[in-house]
Amino acid sequence: MAKKPVPSPAADHALRDHQPGEGQPKPIDSRGDGDELHQQVGDGVADAAAYLTDNFGHRISDNQNSLRAGERGPTLLEDFVLREKIFHFDHERIPERIVHARGSGAHGVFECTRAIPGLTKASIFQKEGATCPVFVRFSTVAGGAGSVDTPRDVRGFAVKLYTDSGNWDLVGNNIPVFFIQDAMKFPDLVHSVKMEADRGYPQAASAHDTFWDFIGLMPEAMHMIMWAMSDRTIPRSLRMIEGFGVHTFRFVNEKGEGKFVKFHWKPVLGIQSTTWDEAVKIAGADPDFHRRDLFEAIDAGDFPAWDLGVQVFDEAFAKKQPYDVLDATKLIPEEDIPVEIVGRMTLNRNVDNFFAETEQVAFLPSNIIPGIDFSNDPLLQGRLFSYLDTQKSRLGTTNFHQIPINAPKCPFHNFQRDGMMQTLVPTGRANYEPNSLAEAGEHGGPRASAETGFSTYMANDERNDPAQKLRIRAELFADHFTQARLFYLSQTANEQAHIASALVFELSKVTLDHVRARVVGQLRNIDEDLAKRVAAGLAIDLPAKEKAARAAVDLKPSAALSIQKNADDTMEGRKVAILFAEGSDKAAIDKLKGDIESAGGTPFLVAPKVGGIKVKGGTLKADGQLAGSPSVLFDAVASILTDEQAKALSGQGAAVQWFMDAYGHCKTIAHDDATQLLLDKAGVEKDGGVVAIDAFADVGTRRHWAREAKVRDLA
């Protein structure tokens, strides 16, 4: 009988030691200088599986902080732990983006409306009226490419400006802060919020155990949680969201003088959100609601626009603040540093091919132009490495910059050659420098320019000792609750109720009791009333207050942080549904349509049937059928019916629900006398937003939030 082959020690080792193992049942917790949670192995633990290592078996001492040159210094390239962790994370999925997979894109133009040469030498800001092409990609973060448009989620807001000095990619979100302070934690954040690893769900949702387990242990995320649980993450339209660069960057002028800067995109149409109930129903009625809305607006010539604003400040201002300007979980209140408008971006052309453009576009935070530079923000520093690496994984080649949507619209020349899918055909043998080939009459290739080339801001005035190499966070990074409290107290009472209700909904999906209790305990550091409301909504006892490294400080509320305090009553860019049926008065419908259009809105005719319908005064064709056009898709509704049709529709669930939802979502309902029968059946009560048809123009599409307490229970 033949002997069984003896497995090699290498194979045996690979099979045995690479299994997850049980590890240490309970880690030892400690807090760093930035109040970050460290969980470490206890003394004398023998089980090798208890020790966190890199992929080559090197034990890791700190899985919370990247290595930087000084407490507030830049991240060091030698940090192999960070590089491997993000490198592996960047390559976990192919070819779909790991985050921001579901996106919508459009082309447009940016125009400088105020020259600022004293602040920056960036070419696009040197002259009022200077323009450049842009491409913008909006996205959700957590869901896959096939998920829906309207989950509660952060929205990506990435802008590629094709300037005459090269591409400038301002890669941000619709929220000015982020969940984490250090790029080391980004894979952990995304792993926690993505589908749970053992069951593959939920998709595009943060309401589950692993996300809130992570959040409860990461108090630095609590400011972002206030934003994520607010109406900012359930927007009405991509045309009605703000955009933020999130990080602190630098402006550098011709003299080499530098100042800090934060970038803001302000929508010309104003900010507007849905309610949670609307967002859920829209997902069922039209999973492509935001994508369709953006495409159709541009296609109709209603070009969405955003003003680019900047907050500019110096190190003296930064040093005086009770927070660290290098901390991506913090913002600078607009009351402290007003946002100055310097440009306008207008999206005026849809993509020709979704895959070639929206899918293949590659944004890099490292794409900046002379006059703009980085700060030592540790989250930004990690992104500078991560994005370039992940584009190679997604697009399969280091030559992804040659894909038309990514290529600059100014000349580019270098000595980089070959590589997979090389489409250029460089000539000559000058693929290195220095060289002296020009002395022999050959083309010697391009050369660097000290005068016009990009040069890093030289001053090191960020309160940092670069002689130290540390895995550490600055002490001010430990204040996790002051700005979270500022955000919450800056909201209207109605918006605060929405935040509390969102937390109740999300945490009700969490099955681990201790996780729910820990999160509510963290909320007590933000606001006692908020924590009590959430605990009551979950029917749990108010848990003990979680220990805070730094207690929250009361700051003056900022009106700029509230959607409702800044709401614009404009009709511009909004869509109004007009319900009609056989026998409806065409003249009344035409007048209402005209009033809506003259105010900048878009009327949308809804009827029980599509096609030509006989009405008083002629024939009308509906834009949408009643069952397929629920009121959640519109900003306001109106109804012009006959008594006979109103009676018939009162027996149809879709018609009754149409008005019930509009009323429940605090929208304006304009109606004629015949429609009163339907309103009564839907439980619609008279208020300032339930008006006669001829009063609609005065009331418009604004929400009537005073109604909400009558139509739903809020935490």
Catalytically annotated residues: 100, 173
Determine the residue type at 715.
A
> For residue 116, which of 369, 305, 309, 247 has the smallest C-alpha distance?
309
Buried b (16+ CB within 10 A) or exposed e, 417-449: eeeeeeeeeeeeebeeeeeeeeeeeeebbeeee
449 three-class SS: coil
344 three-class SS: strand
Strand 636-639 and strand 669-671: pairing? parallel
Distance CA 99, CA 193 (A): 10
Distance CA 85, CA 501 (A): 36
Distance CA 34, CA 38 (A): 11
Q: H or E segment at 155? A: strand 155-163
- Rounded to 5 degrees, φ, ψ at 286 are -155, 90
- Rounded to 5 degrees, φ, ψ at 585 are -80, 110
Helices 493-508 and 528-538 cross at an angle (nearest 10°) of: 40
- Residue 257 neighbours by CB under 8 Å, 6+ apart: none
Determine the residue type at 297.
A
Specify whether the CB–CB gap between 282 and 273 falls below 8 A: no
703 conformational bin, left if phi > 0, alpha if psi -120 to 50, beta if neither: beta
Number of H helices, E strands in the chain: 19, 22
Distance CA 429, CA 415 (A): 10
Helices 276-285 and 493-508 cross at an angle (nearest 10°) of: 60
- Residue 44 neighbours by CB under 8 Å, 6+ apart: none
Determine the residue type at 533.
R
Distance CA 317, CA 700 (A): 43
Specify whether the CB–CB gap between 132 and 160 falls below 8 A: no
Strand 624-625 and strand 602-607: pairing? parallel
Q: What is the three-state SS of 537-583? A: HHCCCCCCCCCCCCCCCCCCCCHHHCCHHHCCCCCCCCEEEEECCCC
E strand spans, 175-324: 243-244, 249-252, 258-267, 305-313
Annotated binding-site residue numbers for heme: 97, 137, 186, 383, 387, 394
HSE (side-chain half, CA atoms, 13 Å) at 292: 12
Annotated binding-site residue numbers: 97, 137, 186, 383, 387, 394
DSSP of 593-615, one letter per residue?
A: HHHHHHTT-EEEEEESS-SEEEE
- List % helix, strand, coil for the chain (3-state, nearest 5): 35, 20, 50
- Rounded to 5 degrees, φ, ψ at 134 are -140, 155
Q: Which residue has the tokens 């619209």?
A: 409
Specify whether the CB–CB gap between 395 and 403 falls below 8 A: yes
